[in-house]
Amino acid sequence: MHIVFLNPQGNFDAKDSYLTEHPDFGGQLVYVKEVAQALVDLGHKVDIVTRRIRDAAWPEFAEDQGSYPDYEENLRILRFPCGGDRFLEKEQLWPHLPAFIASMLEFYGDALPDFATAHYADGGYCAVLTQARTGMPFTFTGHSLGAQKLEKLGTTIANWSNMEARYLFSRRIAAERMSMAHAARIIVSTGQEQKEQYAHALYAGAVDPADDRHFAVTPPGVNERVFSFESTDLDAEVTAALDSRFGEDVGPCTVVSSRLDEKKNILGVVKAYAGNAALRERAALVLCVRGLDDPDKDIAKLGGAEQTVLREILDVIDAAGMRERVYFLNIGSQLELAATYRYFARRGSVFALTSFYEPFGLAPIEAAATGLAPVATNNGGPTEIFADGSGVLVDPFSAEEIADGLLDGLSRHAALSKAAIKRVQETYTWRQTAEGYLAVIDANRSDTNNKAIAQPRELDEAERILGFLKSLE
């Protein structure tokens, strides 16, 4: 079977360049890459369709085609023009997507793929455009939804104009509604995602979250070749480097690895440390941020929003006088990250993800697979991931509860580590995710409802959003 992944804002290349360094290069790129490779491993042909960039600052994305090592024969990265040659943030892509899809369909000609999987709002809109032209059925995977972001950012009638100018919510939510309505099936990571996120008032009439026939719960997984408790050749090198910095007798630590994004709430962990002397004494805090060696010097290299987050973190660290208990690590690759996780796992450490909201939570299961005890937000996917007690759940809005959760995880490290490894191995692998996709695709390839639809209307749900915001006042 020939399957196409529609992911225009994701920049894919063989080396995973800039992964996690930019908001557009986050976890969904890992998700798409891993599911695509797992589908190839199961005997299928896969294309990842994304944008082409011919910009000296982004040389990795200039070629029309690419692939991944060991997947050259049956997995293609197809790059098409989308808004010119320079890099554009995802919010700037909307007016260029029809031409983007036109280029894709011209490339395929009569040799269309059998099925499409659409990712994020713009990928979903591309799938709707494709279906309008060809009748190709598709699944929709939202990853995160605009309605939740709109609320989490505190959007109101008073600040609507500014928020709309920055995030183009009217277009994103319109694209999501179209994607939900026309998808053969919506793929979600958890039942909670289906029942809560898709039940938002801004999606009323586009989808019924109670209709299980329209959804498929298919959790993401971990790359077992990378994230495992078994050591690799790289571990000795990583161990030597970390021992030189921490000392051979370093004790347990709290490890955090995420983008400097306000919603990831790294600041919550830092505040937990600042307010709890017992926690500071029990474990050092390790912040893994790609591209950040010396926070005081490297802050100038960051974007404005990231600089704001880092300054807040440094201010709390300095006010609490705990510089000697906080370490910043620049991790260059997933292999190095996994080896770093194993290093700290051997020392009885925990992994913390305290996002204000986390749709799923790929990072904690990757860390759990290496032996770190997971401590995660109780707002979102981790509540299902660790429902068996294999992780500690905390309120991300309470620094005190985060501190208590970290101390709990540290005290029960051995038991939690063993339970979390077992949980990941039994439930969260990319092969299982790919098999879930295939089950949906096989069930919907010949669905009579998957036929050509009318050309989609203009992307504009400003009136609907303003009505919703007024209802909150």
Confidence of residue 59 (pLDDT cuts 50, 70, 90): very high
Averaged pLDDT, 124-150: 94
Going by CATH, does the domain composed of 233-427 fall within 2.60.120.200? Answer: no
Say if CB 77 and CB 65 are below 8 A apart: yes
Q: Which neighbouring-strand residues pair with 49?
A: 6, 78
In whole angstroms, what separates CA 38 from the centre of its chain?
18
Residue with tokens 């998957």: 450
* Span 443-461, pLDDT tens digits: 998 654 445 566 677 899 9
Residue 362: per-residue pLDDT? 87
Averaged pLDDT, 214-233: 92
Residue of 3 and 450 predicted with greater confidence: 3
* Span 147-164, pLDDT tens digits: 999 998 899 999 999 999
Say if CB 366 and CB 353 are below 8 A apart: no
Residue 456: per-residue pLDDT? 75
Residue 453: per-residue pLDDT? 64
Residue 32: per-residue pLDDT? 94
- In the structure encoding, which two tokens stand for residue 409, read together? 């995880």
Q: Which neighbouring-strand residues pair with 253?
A: 284
CA dihedral 6, 8, 11, 16 (to 10 degrees): -20
Q: Alpha-carbon distance 251 to 344, whole Å?
A: 9
Confidence of residue 238 (pLDDT cuts 50, 70, 90): very high
Alpha-carbon distance values, 16 to 26, 83, 290, 332, 336 (Å): 11, 22, 13, 10, 13
Ramachandran region of residue 290, left (φ > 0), alpha (ψ -120 to 50) or beta? beta
The mean pLDDT of the chain is 93
- pLDDT for 107 beyond 80: yes
Q: Alpha-carbon distance 295 to 307, whole Å?
A: 10
Q: Alpha-carbon distance 102 to 105, whole Å?
A: 5
Q: Which long-range contacts (CB under 8 A, 24 or more apart) does 307-315 make?
A: 308/262, 309/260, 309/261, 309/262, 309/266, 309/267, 310/260, 312/267, 313/266, 313/267, 313/270, 313/287
Which DSSP string do the residues of 82-121 spell out, in sequence order? Answer: -SSSS---GGG-GGGHHHHHHHHHHHHTT---SEEEEEHH
| Least confident span in 19-33, 139-153, 421-435 | 19-33
Q: Alpha-carbon distance 379 to 457, whole Å?
A: 35
Share of the chain above pLDDT 70, in %: 97
* Span 395-409, pLDDT tens digits: 999 999 999 999 999
For the beta carbon of residue 175, count every other beta carbon within 10 angstroms: 27
Strands (E) located in 330-406: 350-353, 373-377, 392-394
Residue with tokens 């919510």: 169
Share of the chain above pLDDT 90, in %: 80
Tell me the three state secondary structure of residue 286.
strand
Say if CB 359 and CB 381 are below 8 A apart: yes
222 phi, psi to nearest 5 deg? -120, 155
- In the structure encoding, which two tokens stand for residue 46, read together? 């896969």
- In the structure encoding, which two tokens stand for residue 12, read together? 């894919």
Q: Which fold has domain 2-221+433-472?
A: Rossmann fold (3.40.50)
* Span 301-332, pLDDT tens digits: 888 889 999 999 999 999 999 999 999 999 97
Tell me the three state secondary structure of residue 238.
helix
In which residue ranges of the chain is CATH 3.40.50.2000 found? 2-221+433-472, 233-427
Residue of 394 and 191 predicted with greater confidence: 394
- pLDDT for 109 beyond 80: yes
Averaged pLDDT, 92-119: 96
459 phi, psi to nearest 5 deg? -80, 100
- pLDDT for 419 beyond 50: yes
| Least confident span in 5-19, 199-213, 321-335 | 5-19
Q: Alpha-carbon distance 92 to 82, whole Å?
A: 10
Say if CB 82 and CB 88 are below 8 A apart: yes
Entry pTM? 0.80
* Span 61-78, pLDDT tens digits: 999 999 999 999 999 999
- pLDDT for 416 beyond 70: yes
Say if CB 74 and CB 44 are below 8 A apart: yes
Say if CB 218 and CB 430 are below 8 A apart: no
Residue of 449 and 135 predicted with greater confidence: 135
| Least confident span in 71-85, 175-189, 244-258, 426-440 | 244-258
- pLDDT for 356 beyond 50: yes
Q: Tell me whether residue 253 is exposed, middle or buried, using C-beta atoms within 10 angstroms of its C-beta: 0 to 12, 13 to 18, 19 or more.
A: buried
Confidence of residue 359 (pLDDT cuts 50, 70, 90): confident
Q: Alpha-carbon distance 379 to 25, whole Å?
A: 23
Q: Which neighbouring-strand residues pair with 394?
A: 377
Which DSSP string do the residues of 11-73 spell out, in sequence order? Answer: ---TT-TTTTTSGGGSHHHHHHHHHHHHHHHTT-EEEEEEE----TT-GGG-SSEE--TT-TT
Averaged pLDDT, 71-100: 95
